[in-house]
Amino acid sequence: MKKLRLEDVAAKAGVSKTTVSRVINRRGSLSQKTIDKVEAAMSELNYHPNVIAQQLHTQQTKLIGILVPSVANPFFGELTVYLEHALFLAGYKVLIADALNNPEKEQRYLRQLMGHQVDGLIIATHNSDIEEYQHANLPIVAIDRYLRPDIPVVSSDNYAGGQLAVEALYQRGCRHIVHTYSTNPSNWHDNKRERAYQDTMASYGLTPMTCTSSFNDSPQEKLAIFSKLLEEHPEIDGIFASNDLDAARLLSVARRLGRRVPDDLQIIGYDGAQATQELVPDLATIVQPIEKMATYAVETLEKRIKGTFTPSTTVLPVTLKAGCTLKELND
């Protein structure tokens, strides 16, 4: 079968080869009539422009790499969906790297993405100390995590979310509130949830109590940690979990141990992804604006690619979603 060439499209559309090339690359001033004519000819002939030739010409691949810990986590799954959609609307193709909470995998992915000459990266992974980020010379936007002073961060208002969670528990009578969270490097943005917990507990004159795990702990390890916590501390009457998966695990452990939720123990999570809200509708949580975070991340990345100014940090407001794991306020 004869391979279609630019000349064939030009002949069909009745324009020159240069005009066809300008339509494909959206270069120079073109009338809508010319664009329509060329596009109709390409579609009739079933002609697909050579992307590699275009890339060589524009020095852009129109590829963006997204690195997440795991799309199996409802927060990152939803974030990825919104990022991919916003990038699609902006004319980009996406390579998704699921780093599986594994620093070596993340490092290899990072090298591969840079080898594919991606135009930019959006990083939402939880592995720290990956050296490549210190030297990467391309536009990058981070979600929640701090990589380098010149890499902008988009996050939800983690501090306000932490305050809101502790206030909600306090107002509903909790006085022995524990905070469960995963340890991150100290300058990461989601650590502000823990700082807000400490400050708000101090403002109420309450003694803080934290329970840490690693972001990379398996579900079984987390369940063991949470069981031990609730077995050893029957006085706990409120839990602020720093993410919804842990909050859901704590809820199931509490029920298994016969703790009455919300009468004796109240629980609030953090994230509010659609899937979690549907699967654990009882769970009260602090809702992150996941779609907005994705849109801002893409807008910020586009600005970085164009070399225009971007704020170093974008913080988006959170909301409280009440649920049956919290008492009614007027109880």
Binding mask 29-68 for ligand RIB (x = CB under 6 A): ----------------------------------------
**Could you tell me the smallest distance in angstroms from the CB atom of residue 123 to ligand RIB?**
12
Q: Which is nearer to ligand RIB, 9 or 298 (CB)?
A: 298
Phi, psi dihedral angles at 181 (to 5 degrees): -155, 165
Is 314 near ligand RIB (CB under 6 A)?
Answer: no
Q: Which is nearer to ligand RIB, 20 or 268 (CB)?
A: 268
Is 271 near ligand RIB (CB under 6 A)?
Answer: yes
Strand partners for 312: none
Binding mask 172-201 for ligand RIB (x = CB under 6 A): ------------------x-----------
Tokens standing for residue 267: 């629980």
**Could you tell me the smallest distance in angstroms from the CB atom of residue 153 to ligand RIB?**
11
How many residues interact with ligand RIB (rule CB under 6 A)?
8
Q: Which is nearer to ligand RIB, 119 or 190 (CB)?
A: 190
**Could you tell me the smallest distance in angstroms from the CB atom of residue 2 to ligand RIB?**
53
Q: Which is nearer to ligand RIB, 264 or 282 (CB)?
A: 282
**Could you tell me the smallest distance in angstroms from the CB atom of residue 74 to ligand RIB?**
7
- What region does 144 belong to: left with phi over 0, alpha with psi -120 to 50, or beta? left
In degrees, rounded to 5, the angle at the alpha carbon of residue 248 between the alpha carbons of residues 185 and 157 is 45
Tokens standing for residue 247: 């909050």
Q: Which is nearer to ligand RIB, 140 or 286 (CB)?
A: 286
Kindly report the number of other CB atoms within 10 A of residue 152's CB atom. 20
**Amino acid residing at 78:** E
- Closest by CA position to 76, among listed 294, 295, 321, 304: 294
Is 226 near ligand RIB (CB under 6 A)?
Answer: no
Tokens standing for residue 11: 């002949």
Is 243 near ligand RIB (CB under 6 A)?
Answer: yes
**Could you tell me the smallest distance in angstroms from the CB atom of residue 293 to ligand RIB?**
9
- Closest by CA position to 110, among listed 59, 64, 65: 65
DSSP state of 288: P
Tokens standing for residue 259: 């703790």
Q: How many alpha carbons fall within 13 Å on the CB side of residue 8?
A: 12
Span 73-112, contacts to ligand RIB by CB under 6 A:
73, 75
**Alpha-carbon distances, residue 225 vs 169, 231, 260 (angstroms):** 22, 10, 20
Q: Which is nearer to ligand RIB, 41 or 153 (CB)?
A: 153
- Which of 144, 157, 194, 302 binds ligand RIB (CB under 6 A)? It is 144
Who's near 63: CB < 8 A, 6+ residues apart?
92, 93, 94, 95, 116, 117, 118, 119
- The footprint of ligand RIB (CB under 6 A) covers 73, 75, 144, 190, 243, 245, 270-271
